[in-house]
Amino acid sequence: MARPSRTDLAVLGALSVQPMSGYAVRAAITETLGHFWSESFGQIYPALARLEAAGLVRAAADGRTSGRVFEITDDGLARLRALLAEPDEPAPPRNGLLLRLFFGRLLGPEVCRGLVRDVRARAEASLSTYAALRREVEAEPDAGNRAYFLVTVAAGEHGARAQLAWADEALALLAAADDPGAH
């Protein structure tokens, strides 16, 4: 059997916090889950239709602007718990940067160093984003969720720091590769 839609999981999760329109679900996921999750409209609207047909989600009163506001039902909450409890099958790896670097000889050392420097810069930017996010989460009034939120922030921080350290090591390796003896 195919893997169940992870969009359903994310949408139900968003609606478990508060009722929202499809548009707002997208915004909530981008803002709050943005550093480890993303959804597109092309997935969200069909998902909401599926979920509504299955009785996991129900249209509440219309909001201020036009558009339907959905709320999660009891069945939906049960389904959310079930989906959360399912094992997470890690996605197959697909790292375009490493693919390029593996064939780096065709690209030349200088171009490769440029790629690595870009990653390094992005990792540094991420780190300050995460610092701000951490301060936000540490001020989170909902003590019951704080630790879970912090765990996701920590994942981002460790990942970004690892990229930084890797970039420096890679730059050193590629500087050595540059020596005129090669080829």
Partner DNA sequence: ATCAGAACATATCTGCCAGATATCTACAAC
Partner DNA sequence: GTTGTAGATATCTGGCAGATATGTTCTGAT
44 CA to centre of own chain: 15
Q: Which helix (H) or strand (E) holds 72?
A: strand 69-72
CB of 82 to a second copy, least distance (A): 10
Comparing C-alpha atoms, which of 56, 50, 26, 53 is closest to residue 40? Answer: 26
Cβ atoms 127, 160 nearer than 8 A: yes
Cβ atoms 52, 76 nearer than 8 A: no
163 touching DNA, by CB under 7 A: no
Place of tokens 């790292």: 95
47 touching a second copy, by CB under 8 A: no
Residue window 93-132: x/- pattern of binding to a second copy, with contact defined by CB under 8 A: xxxxxxxxxxxxxxx-x-xx--xx----------------
Side-by-side strand order, sheet with 20-21 = 20-21, 69-72, 57-59
Cβ atoms 26, 71 nearer than 8 A: no
CB of 61 to a second copy, least distance (A): 26
Which range touches DNA (CB under 7 A), out of 46-54, 107-115, 116-124, 173-181?
46-54
Residues forming the site for a second copy (CB under 8 A)? 6, 9-10, 13, 16, 33-38, 80-81, 84-85, 88-107, 109, 111-112, 115-116, 143-152, 154-155, 158-159, 161-163, 165-166, 169-170, 173-174, 176-177, 182-183
Interacting residues with DNA (CB under 7 A): 2-8, 21-24, 27, 38-43, 45-46, 48-49, 63-68, 89, 91-92, 94
